[in-house]
Structure formats: structure tokens, C-alpha cells
Structure 1
Amino acid sequence: MTPHHSTGRRERNREAMRARVYEAAISLFAEKGYVATSFDEIADRADVARATVFNYFKRKDEFLLAWGDERRRRLGAMLIQESSRESGVLDQLTRCMNRLGEVTTDERRVTSELLLAWVRTGAPVLEEPYTSFIFAQIITDGKARGEVRPDVDPIAVGHLLRDTYLGTLYRWVGEGPAPFSLAQSLTSSLGLIFDGILAHDVTLSP
């Protein structure tokens, strides 16, 4: 076996072991709660030594950061897939918000548990606003097609839509049944943003 193949196999084995430890931790967080889960329990669930867990995650909050990274990649890929340039701006954004709502609802237990712990790390404030950029690209394409007013700033709209998603998500997470339909709330918010709240004969002061 060549050194290259040997190195490649070792790397694959290392990635597989990291994924095994990560999945064990996430499943325990969903079942017992983030605070109540210990490293010993993670090691038992992954069927590895405690030291092996520390080889990949030296602190407990590193699991949260890994969860945030994995969630960002997955949701980002999903939004890109939903944002087809063959349809209009509102249709694309509605599909994106629906999918965000549906996927998150399917993972309500783990999202509710880990999102609150993840917020305490400060990660949502410091992370790159990836969803904002995807939303902004949809608006930019819409401007090019004449669907969006020329004076609209796509980046500002992207941040507004991301803030809408996160704000709604923070109100939705928690123990017990979901207080409202996440997907429906997100798409309803789109209507407010696009239609506005002022009567047609009301103008804003400069």
C-alpha cells in the first residue's frame, strides 16, 4: 500500500470516528439536555474511551460549534437549491422560508435544546450571516429582471429576512409542543415585508 493510500485511509477513519462521537453527543443532548449530558455518557454512547472523545472535542461547547457549522452548511445548500432563477422573487423566498420551517420542525427537539445553548456561546452574533447572502442574491436577481425596485439594497433585505427567520425561530423553540407553525409564520412574515403595513394613502416622512 502506498503512503498516499495509507494517509487517506487514516484520515477517513479519523473523520468517521469524529462523526461517531459527534452523533452520540447530539443524540444525548436531544434526549437528556445539553447541560445534563456528561463526557462519560458521550463516550459510553459512542462506545469509545473518554480520552477518545477529548481527542476530537476538548470542550463541550465545541459540540455546539460543530452543530452550528453542520446546520449552516446543510441549510445553506438547501436554500441554494430552492432559489431557482427560473421563478419570481416572492416564489423563491416563499419556498426558502417553507423549507427552513419544515426542516427545523422535523428537528424541533434537538433544535430547541441546542439553539438556546448555542446562543449562550455567542456564536449566532459572530457567525457569518450566510442566509443573508443567499436572500440578497435572490433580490439582486429580481432587480435585474425588474421585479424589485431599483433603489432597494439587496444586502439590507437579506439581513432583514435573516433577522425575521432567527427572530421567529427564537420565539418558536422551547419545551413541549410548538406554539405555532414555523413555516406558516415565516411565509406570513414575507407577506408583511413585501406588502408593507401602511395604508396606501399613508406616506412616510422624509
Structure 2
Amino acid sequence: MMMAGLREKKKEQTRRRIAEVALRMFAKRGYEAVTVNEIAEAAGVAKVTLFTYFPTKESLVLDVVKEDSAKIVNERRPGQAPLEALREHYRAFAAEGTEGVDVEGLLTRAWVISASPALMAGLHQTRAGQRYELAAALASARGVPDGACELRDQLMAAQITAVLTTVQEGFFQRLVEGTPIAEAGGRLADDVELAFDLLEHGFTGR
């Protein structure tokens, strides 16, 4: 058990090192200008090893921004409503606090993505896929056979993903404006509650 734990820790360290090296190179030269071979060499790993951890060049940047909302819905407690499970998850995420958060790394990643048409397209595609998966999970939660999505599931999934994306963008914008990370984290917790209040009760015009 101990050896297995050490192996997993080493694998995670390798994965993190590769991603950090790639991000630094992308920030310095631009995403399109850097090759996978250069990243592998700079990280001290073989190209095949890099692809073991990151199957595509895009995943070097986009893997950490994925939100698995469908999994949260699918693995919710018996009797728990999907929105309740999602609120609980993101409330807990915001409550974890921001101590030790690498603000510079977050902003660098956001800049690298926004500066690359390929990464922006990849981000859009990733979010579209996650929205579809969430719609299927919501359909399954309603007892629809095989999670066959209906319009209501697609609309609800679209609302949820749009709201969560907007909350995330607000958090990053505060960091860009120089808001201290602790303050930005506290406001994130408030934003999560507001977001799910609106999703649950709708917009009243007030």
C-alpha cells in the first residue's frame, strides 16, 4: 500500500511538473509557437511519457479547467435534488478558502487561453461537451431511460453551465483588477449562493 501511494505521488508530481513547464513556455512564446517535443525535453520526460499524462497539446492547459457537473449529479446522495447537490459541491469548493492558491499561475493560464484561438475553441468545445453530459445526467435524474435528453434538460444544463462560467469569470476579473485573493475568495462564496438562488427560484426582477 505504501509503495502504491508513493508511485501515485510521484506520478502526480510528474504530471504537475509537465503542466507547469508547458504553461511557462506558452506564456513566454505563445501556445502555437511551442511544440510538444520542446515541452517534453524541458520537463525532462520522453514524449511518450508526456502523452501518457496529457493525450493532446490542448489538454496541457485545459485539463484543469474542466468542470464535471454531470458526475456531481450522478453521484448525489439518494433523494437529493440535482441542484442541491451542485450547490453543496460548489459551496464546499468556495469554503475551502484560497490559502496557498497560485494567483500568478491562475492569471497566466487565463491569459494563455485567451491569447490562443485554438485554446479558446478547445475551451468552447470542452464546455459544450460538459453541457451535453450534464443534460444527460439531469434527464437520468428525472428517470428518463438511458438519460435521453429532452429540451428541458438541455435548457437547464445550459443555464447551470452559463451561471457557473459567469461566477468563475467574475472571480478571475477581480484577481485581474488586483483584489486580494482572500477577498476574492470570500466574494466567490457569496456569488455561489446568489447563483444557485437564481437557478432555484428564478429571476424576480428585483
TM-score in same-fold range (> 0.5)? yes
- How far apart are the structure 2 equivalents of 1:164 and 1:88? 18
> Offset at 1:162?
0.7
Q: What are the superposed Cα offsets for residues 116-138 of structure 1, whole Å, 9 maximum, x if unpaired?
A: 32243222112253442454356
Check conservation: 1:104, 1:111, Cα contact below 8 A. Answer: no
- Compare CA radii of gyration and give the structure with the larger one: 1
Paired residues for 1:62-141 under 5 Å? 63-69=57-63, 71-72=65-66, 75=68, 79-80=72-73, 83-99=76-92, 101=94, 107=101, 109=103, 110-119=105-114, 120=116, 121-122=119-120, 123-127=122-126, 129-133=128-132, 135-137=134-136, 139-140=138-139
Inter-CA distance 24–101: structure 2 relative to 1 (3 Å threshold): same
> Offset at 1:153?
0.4
Q: Tell me which amino acid in the other structure corresponds to 2:28.
A: A
Unaligned runs of at least 5 residues, structure 2: 1-9, 144-149
**Across the two proteins, how many residue pairs are aligned to each other?**
169
- Root-mean-square deviation (CA, aligned residues, Å) is 4.5
Inter-CA distance 188–76: structure 2 relative to 1 (3 Å threshold): closer
Check conservation: 1:101, 1:182, Cα contact below 8 A. Answer: yes
- Does 2:192 align with 1:186? yes
Inter-CA distance 133–79: structure 2 relative to 1 (3 Å threshold): farther
Check conservation: 1:136, 1:154, Cα contact below 8 A. Answer: yes
Q: Which of the pair is proportionally richer in helix?
A: 2
Q: What are the superposed Cα offsets for residues 17-43 of structure 1, whole Å, 9 maximum, x if unpaired?
A: 9983x522433577x684137887974
In the other structure, the counterpart of 2:156 is: 157
Query: Could you tell me the percent identity over the aligned residues?
Result: 9
Check conservation: 1:93, 1:135, Cα contact below 8 A. Answer: no
Unaligned runs of at least 5 residues, structure 1: 1-15, 145-150, 201-206
